[in-house]
A and B are shown apart, each in its own frame.
Chain A
Amino acid sequence: MWTRLLQRLLILGLMLLGVSLLAFLVPYVSGGDPVRTILMSRVRDLDVDPAAVEAMRIHLGLDRPLAVQYGAWLWQALQGDLGYSFASGRPVASEIGHALGVSITLALTALGIAAAVAIPLGTLAATRPGGTVDSATTLMVQTFVATPEYWLAPMGILVFALHLGWLPSAGWTSWTALVLPATVLSLRPMAYFTQVTRAAMMDVLQAPYITAARSRGLSMRQTVMRHGLRNGSLPVVTFFALWLAGLLGGSVVIEVIFAIPGMGRLLYEAVINRDVPMLQGGFVSIVALSILINTIADMLYVALNPAVRSGHAH
């Protein structure tokens, strides 16, 4: 268990090194003059005078071998210095900080909605497999999985913002602006959470300790509440984390459609504006966060399960 975690951390470190190397190489492989691109990311107002550029190049050490440059770049990045955005001229790190806050809010809201619907629904479906609720739930899951959010979102705007006028169509100003994007974003995780909960609950409900609990006089409902849910929701924790990580950058489309200033939109605009430092910083930080969240989730899974915790798992 500890060796596994250690291995995991080792691979995690190597993977992050690889990802950062990829990001570091962006200016060299994306066309254009890499030196100029890099200089632009380091200095706010770049002098067009060739002599000044040359001086700056030496000053910033861009004449050193690539490996050395990578080391220096990584060191700066680790200290939170990711350079300046081409588009806004502000430090990349602080822009990412703001965007992350927005994205996490959006993702947690969406996942909260998803879990709030999925856990009871999946449990209900599992108590009567093959029943009406179960069949309807399966159909709902399949429908939600197959619905493109870039279709649902504009349709939602059309109905709730333009026709009914209940909710704002875009922006990030009040909590009402959160309702529509979070709801649309919640459907796919909701579908997967429901499936996972249902499968886990089906397993749990066949466990011997459920029969034992029933033999003590607990009703089916009490049994599920007291003994089913906790055991059945363990796998959901892992899934929640996987989705939280996925939505941090993966909600690009929703953030673009609703003009939400989150990570996804930041990354998207970096691509559109060819904003190299922003792209580098955004990519590295999303990947690093995703990996980190998942590692924490795996540890949380262990913490929630007392039997695994002390190494008694079978």
Chain B
Amino acid sequence: MNKTNEPLLVIEDLTVAFPGQPTPVIDGLSLTLNRGEVLALVGESGSGKSMTALSLMRLLPAGGEITGGRIRFDGEDVLSLSDRQMNRMRGGRMAMLFQQPQAMLDPTSRVNAQIAEPLRVHRGFGRRAAMERVLDLLREVGIADPAVRARCFSHELSGGMAQRVMIAAALSGDPQMLIADEPTTALDVTVQAQILRLIDEQRRKRDLATLLITHDLAVVSALADRVAVMYAGRIVEEGPAKAVLESPQHPYTQALMRCSLLVPDQSGQLLSIPGSGTHARELTCGCRFHPRCSAASQHGIASRCMRSEPALKPDADGHETRCWAVEPEKESAA
């Protein structure tokens, strides 16, 4: 049983398509997640981050289909598991947090019943034992007066409280991996930090591998060990969090960082990336970012960017970038 050195999750060349859409939503995505590690998946909305998360759980919305690639989780081939095996996987070994915690709770069902579900279906808890464990979990996620809160309905909870409940439900199955899909985006700023701290605290305590999906680079710098940047269904840059954040290589990542810092340019206007990434997947040749890219024109390589798409190329520290402007020899600032 020498699996400890092997990464917990290996995604290879994952492709996800929806019928009626000309191009795949996720196009040849590869990622690894080590045990106990926090990998942040960053990108603007529509880049395919959430679809990646749902593909891992095999819970894509109706019509969505994994058309290619492999997902290995703890030595098992996720895509070839039977429905029954997949049910055991979900909640039992991989758990998920979502963006809108209140909408994620059944409005007609009490909080405790929903938190208890993984306990009952995966861990064989009886009704009474499950309810006791639920109270412990609620206490662990920092909910005051758990006995009262356990009997609440979702509409009686604040957003932060609902996310705490979702965290309790995710932890109750004692998973190895937590997928957190923008867990704080819909929350008040003051609550965001509390929830992030809670997630960090719990994952340290339980040695949980965490795939953190976000578009907030501040969140990334606070929590992540490694970062992968996604654009139009592809990974454009990946590497250790420190390296990527301190010396981003890909023009998109650089732009993303400048935007998130809200720094003004020379004319005093806030920086923004021109154009939108919505139709970037429809580019059939060349780099998908080139229409919005400043580097392409600066480096005088625009024709190359337009003609063919670069591959992900690693530097010495395992910092990979998908850009013609980045030469492999070029020294990393880190």
Contact = CB atoms under 8 A, between A and B. Distances in A.
**For the complex, would chain A's binding face be called helix, strand, loop or mixed by DSSP majority?**
helix
Contact of A231 (B59, B61, B95, B108): B108
Interface string A190-212: 00000000000000001111011
B317 interface: no
Interface string B100-114: 100111111100011
A220 B121 CA distance: 13
Contact of A219 (B61, B84, B96, B170): B84
Contacts of B92: 217
Contacts of B91: 215-218
Contacts of B98: 208, 211-212
Given A206-B62, A208-B98, A306-B155, A216 B106 contact: no
Contact of B104 (A208, A217, A306, A307): A208
Most buried by B among A208, A216, A230, A307: A216
B121 A218 contact: yes
B149 to A, nearest CB: 15
B166 interface: yes
A226 B120 CA distance: 13
B122 interface: yes
A61 B84 CA distance: 79
Nearest to A222: B121
A226 B109 contact: yes
A57 interface: no
A312 interface: yes
Contacts of A312: 155
Interface string A272-314: 0000000000000000000000000000000011110010100
Interface in B271-311: none
B18 interface: no
B64 to A, nearest CB: 12
Contacts of A220: 83
A305 B106 CA distance: 11
Given A217-B173, A226-B117, A310-B156, A212 B105 contact: yes
Given A208-B98, A219-B84, A213 B57 contact: no
B88 interface: yes
Nearest to B179: A215
Given A217-B92, A307-B153, A209 B103 contact: yes
Contacts of B156: 310
A220 B88 CA distance: 13
A227 interface: yes
Contacts of A207: 103
Contact of A217 (B100, B106, B117): B117
A188 B122 CA distance: 42
B118 interface: yes
A8 interface: no
10 contacts: A208-B103, A209-B103, A212-B98, A215-B59, A215-B91, A216-B117, A219-B83, A226-B117, A305-B108, A312-B155
